[in-house]
Amino acid sequence: MANTLLEVKGLSVDYLGEKKAKALENVSFSVPEGSIVGVVGESGCGKTTLMLALLRLLPQAGRIVAGEVLFNGLDLVRLSEADMRELRWQELSIIFQGAMNALNPVKTVENQITEVLLRQDSNKAKASKRVDDLLEMVGIGRNRKSQYPHQFSGGMRQRAMIAMALACNPKLIIADEPTTALDVMVQAQILELLMRLRSELDLTILLVTHDLGVIAEACDAALVMYGGVVAEYASIDTIFNAPRHPYTQALLQAFPDHTKAKTQLISIPGYPPKLDDLPPGCRFAPRCSQVFSKCTMTSPPLLSYGEGFASCHLLENV
């Protein structure tokens, strides 16, 4: 059994505003060292908030109101801003969606990566060598390192982002929709790269995505989120072949699978809840096909069912 690198316990985040929004409530899961864990959910399910909360990069209105984020035993929630800044990039780094916006358009790719390196070690020759290694690792040819981001295609930019994230040898990489808006072929290239880097560099990756297919292809375990809470957390095989939460089950039936031509896709009626206007009880209750009276009254706790965890009242009777 591998060590647990990241453990999130009861994390809750509120957005303050005219109406308080409970963006995350009681989120718990753990990420073993060296694994790829997927975070999946529809828009507004809180996956972006979770990612920002882990990095302590929440927008001003966002507050962590409860919980712990243990990274190698260190509670990130209680860390000072300066220590947290130190930790970001060095120990845990980020790959953003839409690499065009995340890269500086007026600096060459080489310069941007060098900048990250020089922040901790001012040896220029060493940095230059390291940049070459990093670019080779992510598959960017040496002849392209002095180009600007706009000269890169979407896939190449994403590779540059990954090189930057790897610059300081982080232990954990949080990748936010790293393949969204890319073509399937490029997506396959990037996923292959991430999986290769994982085994070569012994990385741990938290892969945030809305695409169940990407989760199935790349991850070892998955965290299914719905309306700011954990719906289910289990190994990848359990999630796809024996899910226990009705939401996970419904999501799978709605997801197109080209190996099963012309089967009926079953949609989930209704819409995800608004975080500032949550239903009482279980947040999925209004759309759930297996709803019963208790669901609309109390919200279910996260229960263990052996192979995983799910927050559903149905599990209480077992």
Q: Which is nearer to another protein, 94 or 172 (CB)?
A: 94
CA 39 to chain centre: 5
Q: Which is nearer to another protein, 268 or 302 (CB)?
A: 268
Q: Which is nearer to another protein, 130 or 205 (CB)?
A: 205
Q: Which is nearer to another protein, 36 or 168 (CB)?
A: 36
Q: Nearest distance from residue 212's CB to another protein, in Å?
A: 5
Spatial strand order in the sheet of 308-310: 92-95, 172-176, 204-209, 36-40, 221-226, 229-235, 308-310, 303-304
Q: Nearest distance from residue 177's CB to another protein, in Å?
A: 7
Q: Nearest distance from residue 245's CB to another protein, in Å?
A: 14
Q: Nearest distance from residue 10's CB to another protein, in Å?
A: 22
Host H or E run for residue 200: helix 184-201
CB contact at 8 A, 58 and 5: no
- For β-strands 229-235 and 303-304, DSSP reports them as unpaired
Q: Which is nearer to another protein, 113 or 208 (CB)?
A: 208
Q: Nearest distance from residue 254's CB to another protein, in Å?
A: 4
Q: Which is nearer to another protein, 130 or 138 (CB)?
A: 138
Strands (E), 51-97: 62-71, 74-75, 92-95
Q: Nearest distance from residue 317's CB to another protein, in Å?
A: 26
Q: Sort 184 into a burial class: Cβ within 10 Å, 0-12 / 13-18 / 19+.
A: exposed
Q: Nearest distance from residue 218's CB to another protein, in Å?
A: 8
User: How far is the first Cα of the chain from the last one, in angstroms, to the nearest whole number?
Assistant: 28
Q: Which is nearer to another protein, 183 or 316 (CB)?
A: 183
Cα 34 to Cα 310: distance, rounded to the nearest angstrom? 24
Cα 30 to Cα 191: distance, rounded to the nearest angstrom? 22
CA distances from 130 to 93, 109, 114, 180, 203 (A): 17, 13, 8, 28, 18
Tokens of 63: 């507050």
Tokens of 98: 């839409």
Return residues touching another protein (CB under 8 A): 42-43, 48, 51-52, 57-60, 62, 96-98, 101-102, 153, 155-156, 176-177, 180, 183-189, 192, 210-217, 236-237, 240-241, 250-252, 254-269, 271-272
